[in-house]
Amino acid sequence: MITLGEYIVAKQHQFPEASGELTQLLGSIRLAAKVVNREINKAGLVDIIGATGLENVQGEQQQKLDLYANEKFKAALEARGEVCGVASEEEEDIIIFNGERQSRSKYVVLMDPLDGSSNIDVNVTVGTIFSIYRRLSPIGSQVTMEDFLQPGYKQVAAGYVVYGSSTMLVYTTGHGVHGFTCDPSLGVFYLSHENMMIPQQGRIYSINEGNYIKFPNGIKKYIKYCQERDEKTNRPYTSRYIGSLVADFHRNMIKGGVYLYPSFASAPNGKLRLLYECNPMAFLAEQAGGKATDGFRRILDIEPSELHQRSPFICGSSEMVDHVGEFMCEYSPEDDPALR
């Protein structure tokens, strides 16, 4: 069996200009994921679950594990000196690493340290999402905001960790998507899913239907389409929504399906973060043969203008994503109240 570390080293030749830095960076993420996984598995036994009483920059209640995961990933990324700065969903501004070695590093990391953290209280799957870019500022200088506000197609690597019935780390460096499962007895990630591919067509749609009344007309029509009986297209489809992007995405990656988080009147720009959630998942989806759009545009082509920018997000099996786009174009005119 091949370990994650062995696999990363074996594929290092795909990035001859990296000189091993990207390999070390992914190793830092692996280490932090193991530490966070250990703490998640103790939830309920130690004082690590529940809200802190604080809010993050998006006005969302921070969970204790949000802060714990954020600190552990920052510490791991700073320690090896392969990252010059980090942006986190839990931090209002970018984090600059000022050490001499860090200032000479080539990469920045954007992350959602603990996606779906409110699910921890009820023992439901959560995850970590990360995105890696090559810095734009000169080597040796201090990292700038410009280094983080890059479109998704410029990502060097991206991935997620899913903490569920088993813990998996899934990543891409632009050469396919590969998954590694953690052996809890050894604390080692082993290659379990090489060259993962999303089926072009699935039978699962993932959306919070509790917000149905707020959705754009195109999304409403698509949901009704999914629910209609049609033997030729193998409908009705199955509705599955966990409320953790990592968990819903991972299931659809393996079984096929589409994940939808559209815009609506109270969230005209959507709710998911473009840089921390949409871009890395879109990169993974495309590398696995799927697609990701905001309903009209390819996610990876969107030029970010803000660190915590939000976006509608449609992602998964390519045929299903295309079909959603057709409904959006047909049933979502400019006067749709859900889009105002």
Angle at 177 between CA 174 and CA 181, to 5 degrees: 140
Residue 131 annotated in ligand binding: no
The answer to whether the annotation marks 174 as part of a ligand binding site is no
Q: Please give the average per-residue pLDDT across 175-182, as a whole number.
A: 96
Q: What pTM value is reported for the model?
A: 0.93
Ligand-binding site membership of 64 (annotated): no
If asked whether residues 211 and 94 sit together in one domain, one would say no
For residues 266 and 325, state if they share a domain. Answer: yes
Give residue 338's pLDDT band: very low, low, confident or very high (50, 70, 90): low
Which of the listed residues 193, 215, 249 is the one where a domain comes to its end?
193
47 has a pLDDT exceeding 60: no
118 is annotated as contributing to ligand binding: yes
Q: Write out the residue range of the structural domain in which residue 262 sits.
A: 204-339
Q: Are residues 164 and 238 in the same domain?
A: no
271 is in an annotated binding site: yes
Count of C-beta atoms within a 10 Å radius of residue 139 = 10
CB of 182 within 8 A of CB of 191? no
- How do residues 94-132 score in pLDDT, each as one tens digit? 999 988 788 789 999 999 999 987 777 788 899 999 999
Are residues 270 and 189 located together in one domain of the fold? Answer: no
Same domain, 219 and 176: no
In CATH, what number is assigned to the domain containing residue 324? 3.40.190.80
Q: Of 193, 213, 242, which residue constitutes the final position of a domain?
A: 193
> Per the domain annotation, does 199 fall within a domain?
no
The annotation status of 121 as a binding-site residue, yes or no, is: no
% of the chain with per-residue pLDDT over 70 = 90
Residue 106 assigned as binding residue: no
Average pLDDT for the chain:
90
| Residue spans of alpha helices (H) in the chain | 4-10, 21-40, 64-79, 100-103, 217-227, 245-255, 279-287, 318-331
CA distance 301 to 156: 15
Q: Is 59 annotated as a binding residue?
A: no
The response to whether 115 counts as a known ligand-binding position is: yes
Q: Indicate the residue among 193, 227, 262 that finishes a domain.
A: 193
225 is in an annotated binding site: no
Per the structure, how many domains does the chain have?
Answer: 2
50 and 98 in a single domain? The answer is: yes
The CATH number given to whatever domain includes residue 76 is 3.30.540.10
pLDDT digits (tens, 9 = 90+) for 242-276: 999 999 999 999 999 999 999 988 888 999 999 99
Say whether 65 counts as a known binding-site residue: no
Is 220 labeled as ligand-binding?
A: no
Any domain includes 117: yes
CA 239, 210, 126: angle at the middle one, nearest 5? 65
- Confirm whether residue 336 is marked as ligand binding: no
